[in-house]
Structure 1
Amino acid sequence: MAVSPRRKTSFEVDFAKVEAARDILGTRSLTDTVDAALEEVIRVRQRRQLVELLFEPGALDPDATADAWR
């Protein structure tokens, strides 16, 4: 996996939202909070894609999953 480049940037941020996110995510710094929030957005998308796949007719091989619920 390639290491993603980091760079400094400047933008306006709503610190009330940062504090709320910090409490939820258990982070300390602004950078850690933003990184954790972005990671969570990515994970939410991945979970949605998985759920969509699970509900797609024929997406799962019944023989491959026969023992999954035992």
Structure 2
Amino acid sequence: MDRALEVSGERTKKAAVTKALQEFIARRQQRRVLDLMGKLEWDQSFDYKAERSRK
């Protein structure tokens, strides 16, 4: 716990644990996105710049 407090820069155990859980969740969500790489079909003709200018 002391190391977690030191590395996180947080002052309380609760804040360090909260920060660690937030980072854990963010990493898991990123992993899910990475797992999708190569599995989605992209429309090569889609022009995102043209879509932006319509708004």
Cα distance change, pair 63–25 in 1 and its aligned pair in 2 (3 A): farther
- Of residues 28, 34, 43 in structure 2, which corresponds to 1:45? 28
- Of residues 30, 44, 47 in structure 2, which corresponds to 1:62? 44
CA shift for structure 1 position 63 = 3.6
Q: C-alpha separation between the residues in 2 aligned to 1:64 and 1:24? A: 44
Structure-1-length-normalised TM-score: 0.53
Which segments of 5 or more consecutive residues in structure 2 lack a partner in the other structure? 50-55
Which one-letter code corresponds to 1:47 in the other structure?
Q
Structure-2-length-normalised TM-score: 0.64
Q: C-alpha separation between the residues in 2 aligned to 1:64 and 1:55? A: 18
Which segments of 5 or more consecutive residues in structure 1 lack a partner in the other structure? 1-17
The structure that is helix-richer by fraction is 2
Q: Deviating runs (4+, > 2 A) in structure 1?
A: 60-67
Structure having the higher Rg: 2
CA RMSD of aligned residues (A): 2.4
